[in-house]
């Protein structure tokens, strides 16, 4: 989407134009849902968080003061995901271990050339990684998702999480170190594990 188009859509949506806002929803719903899904590890809750985030975004759009709409809507998505996390702590539901296997919408299945064994291996690895992410504190979890999974820059992450660049760096460093130590216990699932993680 062209930046000018996005600004025009935001302006129209801020005046109550639902159609204009829905164009923005279509543009960012994939990213928003994936971030929510990685934070929550639960497609149902991620779906609720994403829908709630877009609704909150539409209501509060008149408060948007310019800048990156992507960062702004992702900030709402992360806040809604934290709300879901807190709700889950009060009322636990589906265990994280069962999530990835139940995810029929995952693009893991989209590659027809992949053998069932490879798919099982990749699926298992994805589940392991998701469990590792779930073990991180929410703040570190968000930073590593935005950086290493969504490929966002430090500046964008700082914009989304409303923290300084130094905080982003330190949170990312600690999150990666924890993920590295966690994944070292699942060496048999990792491709080229010996090359990547050595013998120790």
Partner 1 sequence: MVGLSFRRQHKWAQENLSTFVDGRLSAKEVNRLKGHVEDCPVCQRDVATLRATKELLAGLPMVAVPRSFILPASVAPEQNKYRRTTRMFAVMRTTTVSAAALFLLTFAGSAYLSGSYSLSMASRGADTAPPVADTTSENEPPLQAVAPAIPDYTEDTLSTADATEDGKTPDVLLLDEEPVTDALAEVAGPQAESTVAVAEAATPTIEGMVGAYGGGGIATSSVTEGDAGIDVDSVSLAEPIVMLPEEILFGSSTESNSETDDTSVTNQAPNLDTNIDAATNQVEPTRVAEAIAPVTETTRAVDLEATNATDDVIEQENSSAQTIVTLRIIAGVLGGILLIALAGLLWFGTARRTI
Which stretches of the chain bind partner 1, using CB under 8 A?
A: 16, 18-19, 21-22, 25-26, 29-30, 32-34, 37-38, 43, 47, 50-51, 54-63, 75-76, 79, 103, 105-108, 110, 125-126, 129, 144, 147-149, 151, 154, 169-170, 172-173, 176-177, 179-180, 183-184, 190, 192, 196-198, 200
CB of 4 to partner 1, least distance (A): 23
Cβ closest to partner 1, residue 3 vs residue 107: 107
Element (H, E) at 117: helix 116-134
CB of 139 to partner 1, least distance (A): 15
Cβ–Cβ < 8 Å for 77, 35: yes
Cβ closest to partner 1, residue 5 vs residue 155: 155
CB of 3 to partner 1, least distance (A): 22
Cβ closest to partner 1, residue 88 vs residue 178: 178
Q: Whose structure tokens read 């099982």? A: 120
As given in the structure block, the two tokens for residue 45 are: 């809750």
Cβ closest to partner 1, residue 43 vs residue 161: 43
d(CA 104, CA 112): 15
Element (H, E) at 87: helix 69-90
CA 29-116-118 angle, 5° bins: 80
**Nearest Cα to Cα of residue 14 among 45, 57, 44:** 57
């Amino acid at each position: 989407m062209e930046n000018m188009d996005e600004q025009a859509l935001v302006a129209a949506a801020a005046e109550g134009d639902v159609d204009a806002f829905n164009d923005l929803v279509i543009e960012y719903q994939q990213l928003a849902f994936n971030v929510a899904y990685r934070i929550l590890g639960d497609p149902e809750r991620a779906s609720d968080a994403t829908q709630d985030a877009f609704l909150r975004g539409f209501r509060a759009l008149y408060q948007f003061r310019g800048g990156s709409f992507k960062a702004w809507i992702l900030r709402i998505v992360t806040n809604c995901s934290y709300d879901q996390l807190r709700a889950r702590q009060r009322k636990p539901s589906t265990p994280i271990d069962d999530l990835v296997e139940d995810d029929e919408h995952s693009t893991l299945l989209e590659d027809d050339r992949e053998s069932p064994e490879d798919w099982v291996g990749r699926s298992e690895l994805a589940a392991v990684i998701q469990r590792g992410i779930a073990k991180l504190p929410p703040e570190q979890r968000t930073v590593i998702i935005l950086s290493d999974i969504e490929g966002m820059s430090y500046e964008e992450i700082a914009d989304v999480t409303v923290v300084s660049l130094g905080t982003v760096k330190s949170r990312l460093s600690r999150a990666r170190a924890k993920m590295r130590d966690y994944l070292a216990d699942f060496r048999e699932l990792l491709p080229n594990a010996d090359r990547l993680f050595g013998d120790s």
